[in-house]
Structure 1
Amino acid sequence: MKNRIFMYLFIFALLVVLFQFVNTKNYVKANDQKIESLSIANAKMKDSLALMYNKINDLSMFDFNYNQEAKDYYYDRQIDTDKLIPLIENELYALSDVEGDEHPLIPFAASEGKKMQFNSIKVLNHKWIIADFSDGIFWGELLIKYEISPEKQLTFKVLDYLLYTN
Structure 2
Amino acid sequence: MRSKIFLYLFLFMSLICLYLVVSSGKMAKANSARVTKLENEINLLKDSVQESNLKVMDMQYFSLENNDDALAYFEHLNIDDPARYIADKLLETNTKKGDNPLVPYEGMQNDFKINKIKILNHKWILTDFSDGKYWGELLIKYELKDDLGVDFILLDHLLYTESN
State the 1:64 CA deviation.
0.6
Percent of residue pairs bearing the same amino acid type: 36
Q: Residue 81 of structure 1: CA displacement?
A: 4.2
Task: Determine helix, strand or coil for the equivalent of 2:132.
Answer: coil
1:110 to 2:107 alignment:
yes
Aligned to 1:126: 122
The TM-score, its normalising length taken from structure 1, stands at 0.90
Partner of 2:30 in structure 1? 30
120, 143, 151: which is aligned to 2:147? 151
Kindly indicate whether residue 160 of structure 2 is the aligned counterpart of residue 160 of structure 1: no
In structure 2, runs of 5+ residues without a counterpart are: none
Amino acid in structure 2 at the alignment position of 1:15: L
Query: Counterpart amino acid of 2:91?
Result: Y
Structure 1 residues 85, 40: CA separation in 2 closer, same or farther (over 3 Å shift)?
Answer: same
Partner residue, 1:6: 6
Q: CA deviation at 1:93?
A: 1.4
- How far 1:152 moved relative to its partner? 2.2
1:37-71 CA-partner distances (Å, limit 9, x unpaired) = 11111111121122122222222221111100001
1:80 pairs with 78, 81, 92, which one?
Answer: 78
Contact 2:100 2:114 in 1 (8 A): no
Q: 2: distance between equivalents of 1:18 and 1:108?
A: 85
RMSD, aligned α-carbons = 1.5
Aligned to 1:58: 58
Contact 1:71 1:81 in 2 (8 A): no
Taking structure 2 as the reference length, the TM-score comes to 0.91
Maintained 8 Å contact 2:77/2:146 = no
1:164 deviates by 2.1
1:147 Cα deviation (Å)? 0.3
* Alpha-carbon distance in 2 for matches of 1:111, 1:63: 32
Paired residues, number: 162
